[in-house]
Amino acid sequence: MYTHIIIHYDEIGLKKKNRSYFEDALKTNIQRKLKDLPLSIYKQYGRLVATINQKTTTEEIKKRLSFVPGISSFSFGFSTNLDVQEFSEKSISILSEQTFKTFKVETKRSNKMFKLTSIDINKKVGENILNHLNKKVDLTNPEKTIFIEVCEKNAFVYDNKHYGISGLPIRKNNSVVCSLSGGLDSPVSAYLMMKRGCEVIFAHVQNNTLTNQKLEEKICDLVKQLTKVQLKSKLYIIPFSDIQKKLIMYVPSEYRMIIYRRFMFKIIEEIVKKEKAFAVVTGDSVGQVASQTLENISVIYDACSVPIFSPLIGCNKEEIVQVAKKIGTYDISIKPYPDCCSFMVAEHPITKGSLKDIKHIEEKIPDKQKMIEEVLLKLKKKEMVYEKE
């Protein structure tokens, strides 16, 4: 039974004076993710370490730590004194219960004052394993690897390595608002922003004339899945059908998609201000459909005075699908849903919108600000908290 979890990060180690701040944020997030399990977590230079007991199952911990932003890898192992004989004894103890033919020893020595080099440790521990277990050494493609980390006051010995999603830990007061459509793209965009340490607030624009209870359940399911990454989420449901009905009276059908989206961004911008967030996040990528041409993206984004981030802007669909499958949103996203922007638009909407033309059309729409304010009064807000599977 393992006694420790050795948790590694990558980018955090490059933060110099801010390193401790990011380490503390990561430690807090791990504690929140594992709060119902009997373990304690502490910082040890270059890593975080958790002590575990016999009541804790490694499979449950693996599920949870695999989706904590900031963790590059984690391993289950043992702590030993700074003694090569103890390294060997613990390595033999770990390997003696397993079936394998070849092995190697891989040592990292952050404590440069330790009397032996990493290569010396590899040789001595390897020799002891050979003498006791009669296995072959294979430095290129071993069936088993024993990892040894020599620290300042102790060492860690382990035989496994599980990979996280890396990136930066999510921090409070570092939020963005993601326009969540229900398709494949926007959930992946939200996840990528979480990997960069952002707390993501969700906003779903809903056409009440098209939607039904199942669509809202789908949106909630997407947010619940992404809450496994950031542990707590807010979702705003934006009723948009009244605005669309009014726009139909003043906007030619070939321009409606662009103006619909411009109004959406104006509403989401108000949520950004309300939440004291920094930016809007979209699932846009450059393509040839009407909403994704460079010209139309430029015209649509002009409606918003806060920054707009589009993490997928240079990705193709297959790249997006692969990430969606990895994070568990793919099967939810492919369920059919009505696209709010497709409501009463032309079969062939304009693909190269002119900002001058769009603004000229918008000038003829009466009470634009009042329309937005009325929608803001009808926002529906939901909050979700991570629940263990």
Residues 94, 9: one domain?
Answer: yes
Cα 368 from Cα 359, distance rounded (Å) = 12
309-316 mean pLDDT: 95
Which residue among 163, 198, 219 closes a domain?
163
Residues 294, 216: one domain?
Answer: yes
Strand ranges across the sheet with 308-309: 308-309, 280-281, 175-179, 199-206, 232-239, 380-385
Q: Does residue 62 lie in a domain region?
A: yes
Q: How many CB atoms lie within 10 A of CB 99?
A: 7
Which one of 12-16, 41-45, 51-55 scores highest in mean pLDDT? Answer: 41-45
Q: Does residue 114 lie in a domain region?
A: yes
pLDDT digits (tens, 9 = 90+) for 73-115: 999 999 999 999 999 999 999 999 899 999 999 999 999 999 9
Q: What are the residues whose beta carbons fall under 8 Å from the beta carbon of 224, sequence distance 6 or more?
A: 233, 384
- Name the residue range of residue 296's domain: 175-385
pLDDT digits (tens, 9 = 90+) for 212-228: 677 889 999 999 999 99
CA separation, residue 310 to residues 65, 190, 201, 293 (Å): 27, 10, 15, 14
**Predicted local confidence at residue 211, as pLDDT:** 57
Q: Which of 125, 142, 379, 157 is nearest to 268 (CA)?
A: 379
**Predicted local confidence at residue 342, as pLDDT:** 52
Cα-based angle 183, 185, 190 (whole degrees, multiple of 5)? 110
Does the pTM exceed 0.85? yes
Helix axis angle, 213-230 relative to 317-327, nearest 10°?
A: 80
Is the Cβ–Cβ distance between 259 and 290 less than 8 Å?
no
Task: Quote the number of domains for the chain.
Answer: 2
248-262 mean pLDDT: 91
Is the Cβ–Cβ distance between 323 and 228 less than 8 Å?
no
Q: Does residue 196 lie in a domain region?
A: yes
Instruction: Identify any residues that bridge with 147 across adjacent strands, giving them in sequence order.
Output: 106, 158
Cα 339 from Cα 205, distance rounded (Å) = 10
**Predicted local confidence at residue 212, as pLDDT:** 67
Residues 60, 189: one domain?
Answer: no
6-28 mean pLDDT: 90
pLDDT digits (tens, 9 = 90+) for 111-167: 999 999 999 999 999 999 999 998 999 999 999 999 999 999 999 999 999 999 999
Residues 179, 125: one domain?
Answer: no
Residues 148, 192: one domain?
Answer: no
Which residue among 163, 184, 199 closes a domain?
163
**pLDDT at residue 69 greater than cutoff 70:** yes
* pLDDT range class, residue 291, cuts 50, 70, 90: confident
Residues 125, 193: one domain?
Answer: no
pLDDT digits (tens, 9 = 90+) for 356-366: 999 999 999 99
* pLDDT range class, residue 60, cuts 50, 70, 90: confident
**pLDDT at residue 174 greater than cutoff 90:** yes
**Predicted local confidence at residue 39, as pLDDT:** 86
CATH of the domain at 207: 3.40.50.620
Percent of the chain with pLDDT over 70: 95
**pLDDT at residue 339 greater than cutoff 70:** no
**pLDDT at residue 343 greater than cutoff 70:** no
Calculate the average pLDDT of the chain: 91
Cα 193 from Cα 176, distance rounded (Å) = 8
Residues 261, 204: one domain?
Answer: yes
Residues 360, 221: one domain?
Answer: yes
Which residue among 101, 132, 163 closes a domain?
163
